[in-house]
Amino acid sequence: MIEVNYHCPECSAVNNAAVREGGLAPLSCVNCDAQLVPPSDAILDGRVVHCLVCPSTELYVRKDFSQRTGVAIVVVGLGASCIGWFYRHFQVTYAILFATALLDAGLYLLRGSLLQCYRCQAEYRGLADLQGGEPFRLETHEKYRQQAARLAEGRPASQR
Ligand SMILES: [Zn+2]
Ligand SMILES: [Zn+2]
């Protein structure tokens, strides 16, 4: 099972769907019921070669690490070390700071990787093999960012 996390193209609601390689069923939005029909060859040999949500075929591999978790660990660690500092337990203070840094680094390594679409930012988790996936490339990101900017500029003109 591959877990897809995407924003609905119609209403931009966040959707979470599980898809099976081979029998790709249409994805329907939890908010507006909009149907997305993924191309049948989107997933080949356990690899997403075509985004299920948008026409993009360019996806990159990144670490599945939520920044919020990292920040929370650091804040709790710093808070605890301040208490140690207040009671003049300097060794305890340094131990807490060290443990905080270690935990943060450890969590980063433990988290798996995910595949993300350059164009629509859809996230794919639970893929068997991400080794062959491309890492993030700034040129590709820039290409899609400019494309999106042009689309945003063109929209008011077409509505006039
Ligand atoms: Zn929707
Ligand atoms: Zn996409």
User: Same structural domain for residues 18 and 90?
Assistant: no
pLDDT for position 115: 92
Last residue of a domain, one of 109, 124, 143: 109
Question: Per-residue pLDDT averaged across 8-27, rounded?
Answer: 88
| Better-scored residue on pLDDT, 40 or 157 | 40
What is the number of domains present in the chain?
2
Residue 119: nearest ligand to its CA?
2
Once rounded to an integer, what is the mean pLDDT over residues 87-102?
A: 86
**Mean pLDDT of all residues in 16-28:** 84
What band does 157 get if pLDDT is binned at 50, 70 and 90? low
Q: Domain check: are 21 and 55 in the same one?
A: yes
Q: Which ligand is nearest to the CA of 52?
A: 2
151 plus 72 within the same structural domain: no
- Tell me whether residue 28 is exposed, middle or buried, using C-beta atoms within 10 angstroms of its C-beta: 0 to 12, 13 to 18, 19 or more: middle
Do residue 99 and residue 142 come from a single domain? no
One domain, residues 137 and 60: yes
Which one, of 58, 53, 67, 65, lies nearest residue 142 by Cα? 58
- Whether residue 100 is found in the same domain as residue 26: no
pLDDT at 143 over 90: yes
Residues around the ion ligand 1 (C-beta < 5 A):
8, 10-11, 13, 29, 31-32, 34
For residues 29 and 49, state if they share a domain: yes
Cα–Cα nearest to 120, from 38, 3, 6? 6
Q: What's the pLDDT score for residue 156?
A: 60
Same domain, yes or no: 6 and 50 = yes
Residue 117, pLDDT above cutoff 90: yes
Residue 131: what pLDDT? Answer: 65
Whether residue 41 sits in one domain with residue 15:
yes
Give distance in angstroms: CA of 36 to centre of ligand 1: 10
Residue 132: pLDDT band (50, 70, 90) is: low
Structural domain for 100, as ranges: 67-109
Q: Do 31 and 8 form a contact (C-beta atoms < 8 A)?
A: yes
Tell me the percentage of the chain whose pLDDT exceeds 90.
36
Contact 123, 116 (CB under 8 A): yes
Which of residues 105 and 118 earns the better pLDDT score?
A: 118
Query: How much is the pLDDT for 155?
Result: 64
Query: 149 with 71, same domain?
Result: no
Position 90 scores a pLDDT of 82
Would you place residue 31 in the very low, low, confident or very high pLDDT band (cuts 50, 70, 90)? very high
Cα(84) to ligand 2 centroid in Å equals 48
Q: Do residue 52 and residue 84 come from a single domain?
A: no
- In this prediction, residue 138 carries a pLDDT of 92
Same domain, 118 and 153: yes
